[in-house]
Amino acid sequence: MKTVRQIALILITLVIIACTWISPMDEPAKVHIDAGLKRALVSFASARALSGVLSVVQAAQLDIQPAGIGVTLSPGQLLAPANELVKHFADLMLLACVAFGIQKVLISISGYWLISIALSAVALAWAACQIRQNHAPRWLSRAFLLILMLRFAIPVAMLGTDVLSQKFLAEDYARAQAAIDTTAVEASKVKTQEPPPNTASGWLPKLPDWVPSIPEVQARYSKLKQTVEQSTEQMIMLMVVFLLQTLVLPLLLIGGLFAMAKGGITVAGNPLK
């Protein structure tokens, strides 16, 4: 039984050292991070485009001067609350892009050769102590756990996050992103409709040419406001998707990996507490 345990420890140590230098998970994790970053950039671009269109429409004014009396309408102000929500959505998408960038940098740091050397040396020392003395010093076990997490936690967490995202979040993302794109297209179609030029003779304007346009413009703005408000749920869904991908799921997976690594070292015969 002791021989089997020693062989298992040697094999596990060799696998850890090999993975430290071969880095089989680093590149796939970076690929998945790049894919997530592209999705976040697409959502950010859609949000900024929608916000830009809404800002232009919101700032548009309708000037009417019947009989020399100036009247200014600002129907675009109906869109102010919706535009504020879109701006907050764009800000969160920008933060998601930054989070993906940080994850990629952390993977590059975890694969630095000094960390690989440190993990290899500590793993060999820990395995040697376990084989010769049946236990390792507490400080060595803690150092092994710390460097092991530093080297592998981020890549493994990113791969796990991608698997969970593809399984549970991909459809929600596609549906929500399509809704945001559709809303941006609809918003770009709205233009301020101005009264037609007065072709009537005399100083009185030709009222039938411009009076009906006022309720029409208001109706178009109200329809756009309703369309943006209906996409609010989809914006919130995108916020949830990227919050899970960049914060919640990685932290949960890192916590689970830490518990598993600590349990493995404890089972090996050296309690950490």
CB atoms within 10 A of CB 253: 20
pLDDT in tens, the chain (273 residues): 567 877 888 898 899 999 999 989 999 999 999 999 999 999 999 888 888 877 777 665 544 444 444 444 454 566 677 778 888 999 999 999 999 999 999 999 999 999 999 999 999 999 888 888 877 888 998 999 999 999 999 999 999 999 999 999 999 999 999 988 888 787 777 654 444 554 544 444 444 444 445 566 566 666 767 777 777 888 899 999 999 999 999 999 999 999 999 888 877 655 444
- pLDDT for residue 221: 64
- pLDDT for residue 218: 61
Q: Is residue 77 part of a domain?
A: yes
Q: Is the distance from CB of 218 to CB of 74 less than 8 angstroms?
A: no
What SS3 class is residue 196?
coil
Burial of 191 (0-12, 13-18, 19+ CB in 10 A): exposed
Structure tokens of 9? Answer: 């420890």
Query: What is the tally of structural domains in the chain?
Result: 1
Structure tokens of 148? Answer: 């092991």
- pLDDT for residue 59: 66
Distances (CA, A) of 104 to 36, 88, 183: 11, 25, 32
Q: Which residue has the tokens 């233009």?
A: 191
What SS3 class is residue 64?
strand
Of the candidates 191, 266, 269, 179, the residue with the CA atom closest to the CA atom of residue 229: 179
Of the candidates 147, 122, 120, 127, the residue with the CA atom closest to the CA atom of residue 270: 127
Nearest-angstrom CA–CA distance, 143 and 122: 7
Q: Is residue 16 part of a domain?
A: no
Q: Is residue 176 part of a domain?
A: yes
DSSP 150-195: HHHHHHHHHHHHHHHHHHHTHHHHHHHHHHHHHHHHHHHT--PPPP
Nearest-angstrom CA–CA distance, 52 and 178: 18
- pLDDT for residue 96: 94
What b/e readout covers 46-62, taking b as 16+ CB neighbours within 10 angstroms? bbbbbbbbbbebbebeb
Q: Is residue 215 part of a domain?
A: yes
Q: Is residue 28 part of a domain?
A: no
Q: Is residue 7 part of a domain?
A: no
- Domain, as residue range, for 252: 36-196+203-267
- pLDDT for residue 68: 46
Q: Is residue 254 part of a domain?
A: yes
Q: Is residue 259 part of a domain?
A: yes
